[in-house]
Amino acid sequence: MNEYSFRTLWHLDAPVDTVWDAIVSTQMDPRWWPFIERVTETVAGEPSGVGSTRRYIWRTKLPYKLSFDIHVTRVDRPVLLEGLISGEVEGIGRWEFEPQGSTTIIRHLWNVRIAKRWMNSLAPAMTPVFAWNHEQVMKAGGEGLARFIGVRLISSG
């Protein structure tokens, strides 16, 4: 399996508690992230969110979908969400929230492997295309979150 390390930054013109609440309360849903097709909670977990598991079906800019579960392993309100990812994507996903005065920086750190055979066989030639695709999905997420909470996306990248 091919391994990927994706780093994305969103800088939103909103306080950290507003951003945290929007992400945690919606569990990254299609109301604001257009590439999410469906989210299903499969395990409720603790009130903090630790131990919960959700199945995500993602569309992408390219003509394929990915399905994976995120099992929440760590929640440190309002600075960190972390989970184990399994399914067609496997690894660790981490969201770091950093208050910057009245704004918030979110760092998305994804260290994953892809379990789809066709993607792995094409990876030597397609890795730059897969990275571009990931960037498009993440950019749409930052823009959608900003719209959802009614603030400006200062930067994304």
Residue 121 tokens, joined: 């066989």
Contacts of 126 (CB under 8 A, 6+ apart): 119
Q: Is 135 helix (H, G, I), strand (E, B) or coil?
A: helix
- Supply the pLDDT for residue 1: 63
Q: Is 74 left (phi over 0), alpha (psi -120 to 50) or beta?
A: beta
In order of their start, the domains of the chain are 3-156 (3.30.530.20)
Q: Is 85 helix (H, G, I), strand (E, B) or coil?
A: strand
On the CB side of 128, CA atoms within 13 Å amount to 1
Closest CA to 100 of 13, 3, 1: 13
Strand locations in the chain (E):
3-12, 36-43, 53-59, 65-76, 80-87, 89-100, 103-114, 153-156
One digit per residue, pLDDT tens: the chain, 157 residues? 689 999 999 999 999 999 999 999 887 888 999 999 999 999 999 999 999 999 999 999 999 999 999 999 999 999 999 999 999 999 999 999 999 999 999 999 999 999 999 998 988 899 999 999 999 999 999 999 999 999 999 999 9
